[in-house]
Structure 1
């Protein structure tokens, strides 16, 4: 149990330096395929605030990139990575925060290695599912059997349990959050789950009823508070401090939630 409760930093520090460049390249390619699929479905414009984050770090050390987008249906999309792959660390993000025109859960995905493989994939709740039983019954209950199947049939997956109570509070009941060997068993399974989840999520968006206009501002405010709190309270921000310094980490965290955005939010567009 104590091993399961190690932080990202502790896993990284306890391991001998192992080059995870191959895993990093595999995660990048998967996320790029999913991002391209999103670009087919949604109108997206890159937010100018992230252009300065197209490339940071380097000189033989850690590097990173953050690209953020917005559009009529998408309040904030983050496509990013940071890595020190030669020494055993990488992290790749694709998160999609919908505008308040629908109540579909947001799309959350992060893949990494430190140096063991790490996977997070979730339908980020926008409400308290204990009271919003309509959302629970529509989006979570129907995929519980698939969640259970993945957990029981793939014994090489080890649940990753954060010591942070806040992080645990943010996970849905069907979240996938695992550590696993960084080999083809893991990467093939993650590609299958991720592509399946994205197509299902796109179907949810297409089938969703529109939120009444008078309710959208409140939902948008709640969405931004969730996004900001998740970004600012992430214990793994310590790895950003270590690799890039606290000032750059502050800038990166603000990019994740849209603190310096230039484009209008989805509900503010005409």
Structure 2
């Protein structure tokens, strides 16, 4: 299947109102399963800056959303969120976990939703230049190469290629980033997404358990780089235009800040 080169808003506008409530419910349940695994491994506290984002909405039942940000001794910033209008077809969900600088294991990035076509992204965000740090490349991303190639060969999946240069730069070479054009609900595909996500989360948790400690003198630089990456990803996401469409620029700015922890109250881990 040919790759998808259109922007999120273009796909949404072209398809028109298409009820994606069923797919949204299934995808949100998978994020909750993943959160159970993460919460069992890490000590997490919800940041007070996100408590009043537990449930927000427009003038009617939809559009609506929920955003929760967490941190802890080993977790710099973790977001579990959704935003959208399921009856009209657009939804977006996140489980993004940014580790503290005590270890240099890649961060976990999961985002998916409906355009109304099913769209899903699963990746590990690097914390070094992989053109130079080939040890990290081989260790963390190398074992995923065959699976990535198999997914690219799947004719039912269309690779999602963002028009935004920065977004393409932010993806690893084995990032799972696909759409299923013309399908608002496909149970087999949703099962595949669940299996892929759980498999990668389990792998990531094992890396965390096996990680070596980063020397103290390197942690400040690593933490600063992590924050820059996280802020850039949140602020330069072209899909932010959908937030502005549903909730206006002021609320969207607040949500974007919450995604990178711009209003956080709890301290960052050492």
Partner of 1:259: 262
In 2, distance between residues paired with 1:135 and 1:266?
A: 23
Q: Deviations over 1:136-157 (max 9, x none)?
A: 01101122112222332x3211
3-state SS in 2 of match to 1:194: helix
**Unaligned residue ranges in structure 2 (runs of 5+):** none
Partner of 2:55: 55
In 1, distance between residues paired with 2:222 and 2:136?
A: 14
Partner of 1:133: 134
Q: Deviations over 1:44-88 (max 9, x none)?
A: 000000001111114233000100000011000000000101111
Could you state the TM-score of these two structures normalised by the residue count of structure 2? 0.96
Match among 201, 204, 212 for residue 204 of structure 2: 201
- The list of structure 1 runs, each at least 4 consecutive aligned residues, that deviate by more than 4 angstroms after superposition, is none
In 2, distance between residues paired with 1:169 and 1:68?
A: 25
In 2, distance between residues paired with 1:73 and 1:48?
A: 18
Quick check: 1:218 aligned with 2:224? no
Could you state the TM-score of these two structures normalised by the residue count of structure 1? 0.96
Partner of 2:243: 240
Residues 4 and 179, structure 2, Cα contact 8 Å, conserved in 1: no
CA shift, 1:27, in A, is: 0.6
**Unaligned residue ranges in structure 1 (runs of 5+):** none
3-state SS in 2 of match to 1:126: coil
* Pair 55,208 (structure 1): closer, same or farther in 2 beyond 3 Å: same
Q: Deviations over 1:116-160 (max 9, x none)?
A: 0000000011111001111101101122112222332x3211100
Partner of 1:158: 158
CA shift, 1:226, in A, is: 0.1
In 1, distance between residues paired with 2:143 and 2:186?
A: 30
Partner of 1:46: 46
In 1, distance between residues paired with 2:172 and 2:116?
A: 26
Partner of 2:16: 16
3-state SS in 2 of match to 1:260: coil
In 2, distance between residues paired with 1:131 and 1:90?
A: 37
In 2, distance between residues paired with 1:117 and 1:56?
A: 24
In 2, distance between residues paired with 1:74 and 1:107?
A: 11
Instruction: Note the 1:60-99 alignment, pairs <5 A.
Output: 60-99=61-100
Residues 90 and 116, structure 2, Cα contact 8 Å, conserved in 1: yes
